[in-house]
Amino acid sequence: MILERSNVLLTGASSGIGRALARELVGRTGRLAITARREIRLEDMADELEAGHGTRPVVLVADLAQPGAGTELAERAREAMGGVDVLINNAGSAIQGMQWAAGDGTAARELFETNVWSPLALTAALVPAMRARGEGAIVNVTSLLQVSPFPSFGHTSASKAALALATQTLELELTGSGVHVLEAVLGPVDTPGAFESRLMPGGKQWLHATGLATAEGAARHIVKALEHERRRVVYPRRLSPTYALPVIGRRFARWFTRYADPNDLSVRRGGSAGDLECRAMRARWEEHRSGSPMHGPDPPYGGAITPP
């Protein structure tokens, strides 16, 4: 895949890994379209990229938690850029809560809409033209949660596992078509979403035990894997054995069941449009990243602990 000639659609570009990906991609693509729910954040990102590289990305505001948003976004991207050569499904969401508490409620359905149905809708809308041209690429950002689930993260883990299996099947389906499929399997990365996980019982210990990689590192590895047409990249690389040998991840996850409270029926919706507690954690993360002093005793990093 020659990025210099490609029109790239990147979802979830307003923060975290998506923001880092936008910075990594600008100037290396034919044209870049960035999309997320928050227009102000997207315009700020576009201003930054234009100032630094002389190229302003196309800004497309979309809430992929809403049914039909993926199909509509694909059409708008085609109109704005004259076609999409590379789709990067990076947008993701999370909820915290026991499965019998979250059930199939609104938060759970919006989670699956963002993490599974919208990527599949975008794929369905854009792959036929890629196949007709005999070239293109789909990049799906999944998670090591597919092999290492965590108590109170059942819905999130299941959605990422669903996207992972869909990605692996898509790669088989497109063999010989000229359309490349890349799965980016990510472990804990220093993002607002990861910092929200500290609200879960055992979340702090989990993040301390695994350590946090950087969003910039994730972006570099994803773009490099795309350029070299690899089928899969695991980041951070030190966690590759966990993906290759899922029993490691499942044993690691079981150690954290001691922190779970089965009587806790609360459900927290993550993200910038999430519940108050999660939004407050994101604000604290932003303060830290901007160099402002953080309030409270918990920094985003901590000394490592080793589970038995």
Specify the pLDDT at position 230.
97
pLDDT for residue 291 is more than 60: no
Position 87 in a domain: yes
At residue 74, the pLDDT reads 98
Which DSSP state fits 143?
E
> Does 43 reside within a domain?
yes
With tokens 């990365």, the residue in question is 189
Pairing of strands 86-89, 31-36: unpaired
Within-domain flag for 306: no
The verdict on residue 97 lying in a domain is yes
E strand or H helix that includes residue 11: strand 7-11
Here the CATH number for the domain that contains residue 172 is 3.40.50.720
CA proximity to 82, closest of 129, 124, 49, 119: 129
Residue from 165, 121, 117, 120 nearest 142 by CA: 165
| C-alpha span between 269 and 118 (Å, rounded) | 18
Mean residue pLDDT across the chain: 91
Q: Per mean pLDDT, which range of 34-38, 99-103, 113-117, 192-196 is the poorest?
A: 192-196
Q: Model confidence at 222, in pLDDT bands (50, 70, 90)? A: very high
pLDDT at res. 1 = 59
Mean pLDDT of 8-25: 96
Nearest to 11 by CA among 77, 79, 95: 77
Nearest partner of 92 among 191, 216, 200, 169, judged by Cα: 191
142 by Cβ neighbours in 10 Å (0-12 / 13-18 / 19+) ranks as buried
In a domain, 125, yes or no: yes
Is residue 303 over pLDDT 80?
no
Percentage of residues of the chain with pLDDT beyond 90: 79
Contact 10, 34 (CB under 8 A): yes
Q: Is residue 13 part of a domain?
A: yes
| Structural domain for 125, as ranges | 3-237+246-290
The rounded distance, in Å, linking the Cα atoms of 25 and 253 is: 34
Residue 308 in domain: no
Count CB-CB contacts under 10 A for residue 269: 25
- Confidence (pLDDT) at 155: 97
Find the farthest-apart pair of alpha carbons in the chain and give their distance in angstroms, rounded.
56
Q: Determine how many CB atoms are found less than 10 A away from the CB of residue 166.
A: 17
For the CA atoms of the chain, what is the radius of gyration?
A: 19
**How many distinct structural domains can be found in the chain?**
1
Domain-embedded: residue 141: yes
The predicted-structure confidence for 106-138, as pLDDT tens digits, reads as follows 999 999 999 999 999 999 999 999 999 999 999
CA distance 216 to 63: 24
